[in-house]
Amino acid sequence: MSQFVSRVLVTVVALPLVLWLVWLGGWWLFGLALVAALIGLHEFYGMARSLRPLVLAGYAGAIATLLGAQLGGAEWMVGGFTLTLLLAFLLYGIAETRQTGTITIGSTVLGVAWIGLGLGHVLLIRDIPGDGRLLIFTVLLAVFADDTAAYLVGRLVGRHKLAPSLSPGKTWEGFVAGTAAAVAVAFFALYDQDSLTIPESLVLGGAIALAGAAGDLFESALKRDLQVKDSGRLLGGHGGMLDRIDALLFAAVAAFYVVLAFGYA
């Protein structure tokens, strides 16, 4: 089976389920985010095993981060995240590891900051009073449209490398197409919905596109640094969980604070 066909099949099967759980929100979405976070952390800590991350501290920190976001909002989410540092320090004190504390604890906390806080912001967006459901669907569909347009256009007509030292497959043509797709999704999703104004929706779409591209390149930089090709094979042609949600982990954070800056959160 070709990589393209595999990507399409996984999308057809998984996307409706994900959108349904997002529509339900609440603890259903929390469960989805928790599963994605634990799988993503498992992949990251597997890639970074030479750094000797303290995986139990990371898993506990991610759970606490998402629980904080679900139960108490941004303040509790940050409180849950800080638990990671405390647990990592305590476990490092009793664990036998050949790495320094800076590398071991740093890699542990990095995983939770990247994955736990990224998915925590998905929960925060969904919980925005009144417009949360519309906004999180806008973010998810904009990220999906961006990724799809960038992939297709990059494969078909991409000639100029976006960041060859980090991700040789990314092109400027794909980036422009993906940005246009994300902005268009944000505009049409929020147009005449008594939510964001037209200029605000365009800014949101641009922020999602830029942050999503940064998230994609961030994972590519980590994989190159850790000398792995894909984070895993869980999702067939999409690679691992992190290969699928890398853009969302940055885009959700950017989207939440853009909406917050406009006074809607």
Q: Are residues 37 and 114 in the same domain?
A: yes
CA distances from 240 to 41, 43, 45 (A): 11, 7, 13
Of 112, 127, 142, which closes a domain?
Answer: 127
Query: Contact at 8 Å (CB) between 142 and 182?
Result: yes
Distance CA 96, CA 73 (A): 36
Quick one: 135 and 259 in the same domain?
yes
> Quick check: 204 and 191 in contact, CB under 8 A?
no
> Do 136 and 257 belong together in one domain?
yes
State residue 3's pLDDT score: 58
Higher pLDDT, 155 or 249: 249
* Rounded mean pLDDT, 36-40: 96
Distance spanning both ends of the chain, measured CA to CA: 44
Predicted confidence at residue 195, as pLDDT, reads 80
Q: In the structure, what pLDDT confidence band is assigned to residue 93 with cuts at 50, 70 and 90?
A: confident
Look up residue 213 and give its two tokens. Answer: 């591209």
- The 10s digit of each residue's pLDDT in 59-73 is 999 999 999 999 999
In a domain, 6, yes or no: no
Check whether 161 has a pLDDT greater than 70: yes
Work out the average pLDDT over 78-91. 95
CB 53 within 8 A of CB 111: yes
pLDDT of residue 234: 62
SS3 168: strand
Residues of the chain with pLDDT > 90, as a percent, come to 67
Looking at residue 212, its amino acid is G
pLDDT for the residue 87: 95
How much is the pLDDT for 6? 57
Report the pLDDT averaged over residues 180-208: 91
Chain CA centroid to CA 29, Å: 15
- Cα–Cα dist 120/81, whole Å: 10
What average pLDDT does the structure give for the chain?
A: 90
Which residue segment(s) compose the domain that 78 sits in? 27-127
pLDDT digits (tens, 9 = 90+) for 135-147: 999 999 999 999 9
Band of residue 229 on the pLDDT scale cut at 50, 70, 90: confident
Task: Work out the average pLDDT over 8-21.
Answer: 79
Whether the pLDDT of residue 237 is over 70: the answer is no
Q: What is the pTM of this model?
A: 0.92
For residues 245 and 41, the answer to whether their CB atoms sit within 8 Å is no
Q: Is the pLDDT of residue 78 over 90?
A: yes
pLDDT higher than threshold 70 for residue 236 = no
- Both 113 and 135 in one domain: the answer is no
- Whether residues 152 and 265 fall in one domain: yes
Is the predicted pLDDT of residue 10 greater than 90, yes or no? Answer: no
Structure tokens at 59: 């898993």
**Per-residue pLDDT for 218 more than 90?**
yes
Please indicate, yes or no, whether residues 156 and 31 belong to a single structural domain of this protein.
no
- Higher local confidence (pLDDT), 37 or 3: 37
Pair 59, 165 in one domain? no
**Which amino acid, 203?**
V
Q: Which of 127, 160, 184 is a domain's end point?
A: 127
